[in-house]
Structure formats: structure tokens, C-alpha cells
Amino acid sequence: MNFNNVRFLISAFSLGQLPEPIYPDIAFAGRSNVGKSSLINRLVGRKNLVKTSARPGKTQSLNYFLVDDALYLVDLPGYGFARVSRKMQSSWQQLITGYLSGRRTLACVVVIIDLRHELKPLDRELVDWLRHHGVAFLPVYTKADKLSKNRQTSHASALDAALTITPGERIIFSARTGQGCRELQSRLALYHESW
């Protein structure tokens, strides 16, 4: 699959605007500023397909990209997820939870976590929510370039333990160096092959 063959489709502000479910969805979630936009840009080999460092608190939408007529990439709004699951009141909160629980073709949520830090409550809340709802997810520990190899290993082990996953179930990544990018591409391509 050629991840460089990518185009923007739509910013969806309601579930009715989602593209036809004719390809699997790969959704990307993470705390604001974790490096989500940078990860997606690296994944598809574009500098600025997704705007980086967007200010938080802006209008929230589901941004759809189509890769190689094979996969939808869905850029979810940064958390706020905790507030989303506690009081599902505002319309965009309903949009996200409605999407995650209702999109039949959602193949995987890539949960992006900063390798430098401990697991944050909002990350845990998202993962617990996904597990509870039976949604497949792939943790990606990003900004690895900011740590030595030794620290990458020790920090990743701590996050693995916090998430109760094994090393084979996550990817260590850097948008800056491209570490882990091929592995992420291979893992995501599988969702198209098993489609």
C-alpha cells in the first residue's frame, strides 16, 4: 500500500457527513500537542497534510483522508476525551463517542502517547473506554527521538505495564526521525488486507 498516495476528503461535523463506509477507518487519537498531526504527516510522507500545533479549543471535527483508495485515516480532535465520556452533552462530544461506538467500519484506533511521560488519566480513560466497547486499538509511543535508546526501552516498559500490553502490541515512534514509521505502515496495511 502506498501511503504517499493520500488526499484530504472532508471535515465532518456530524455523523451524517462521514464518507461512505467502503474502506476501513483508522482513527488517530491523543492528547492535544502529543504529536498526532506530526505522526500522520510522517505516516503519509507529507510535511503539512495535517496542520501541526493547531491551537486547542477550536471547533472540533473528524478529518478524513483517503490513502491509496484502500484506507480512511481519521484525525480525531485532541482530548478533552475525559469530559466527553463523563458528560456526553455537547454536540462534538456526542460526535466523537457516536463515531467510536457506532462506526461499523472502524478497524483500529491509533492511541498516541508521549514516550517521555507516564500514562495520563485521559489516556487511560480512552483505552479503558475502547476496551469496554470492544474497539481495537494500537498504542504508539511518540517523540522517541527525545530520549536515549536506554530510556526509550525503560519508558516503554513502564507504559506497557500501565496499559497491560506486551511490546509486540505497540510501536515506538518518532515523527522527527521516522523511527517506527515503516512498522506502523505495515500494521495499518493489514487492516486493508483483511478487509
Ligand X SMILES: Nc1nc2c(ncn2[C@@H]2O[C@H](COP(=O)(O)OP(=O)(O)O)[C@@H](O)[C@H]2O)c(=O)[nH]1
Q: Which residues bind ligand X (CB under 6 A)?
A: 30, 32-38, 52-53, 78, 142-143, 145-146, 174-176
Tell me the closest approach of the beta carbon of residue 187 to ligand X, in angstroms.
18
In degrees, rounded to 5, the angle at the alpha carbon of residue 125 between the alpha carbons of residues 182 and 194 is 40
Q: Which residue is nearest to Mg ion (CB)?
A: 37
Residue that has been written with the C-alpha cell 488486507 in this structure: 193
> Which contacts of 45-53 are long-range, i.e. CB under 8 A and separated by 24 or more positions?
45/3, 45/4, 46/4, 46/6, 49/6, 49/8, 50/75
Q: Are 108 and 138 in contact (CB under 8 A)?
A: yes
Give me the least distance between CB of 30 and ligand X, in Å please: 5
Kindly tell me which of 152 and 174 has the beta carbon lying closer to ligand X.
174
Our finding on whether 152 is near Mg ion (CB under 5 A) is no
Closer to ligand X by CB, 57 or 134: give it. Answer: 57
Q: Does 41 bind Mg ion (CB under 5 A)?
A: no
Per CB under 5 A, does 85 bind Mg ion?
A: no
Measured from the CB atom, the residue of 33 and 157 that comes closer to ligand X is 33
37 counts as binding Mg ion under rule CB under 5 A = yes
Question: Which residues neighbour 159 within 8 Å (Cβ) at sequence distance 6 or greater?
Answer: 113, 115, 118, 119, 139, 141, 170
> At its nearest, how many Å lie between ligand X and the CB of residue 112?
7
* Residue 131 touches which member of Mg ion, ligand X, none, C-beta under 5-8 Å by kind: none
Total site size for Mg ion, rule CB under 5 A: 3
Burial status of residue 87 (CB atoms within 10 A of its CB: 0-12, 13-18, 19 or more): exposed
Element (DSSP H or E) covering residue 14:
none
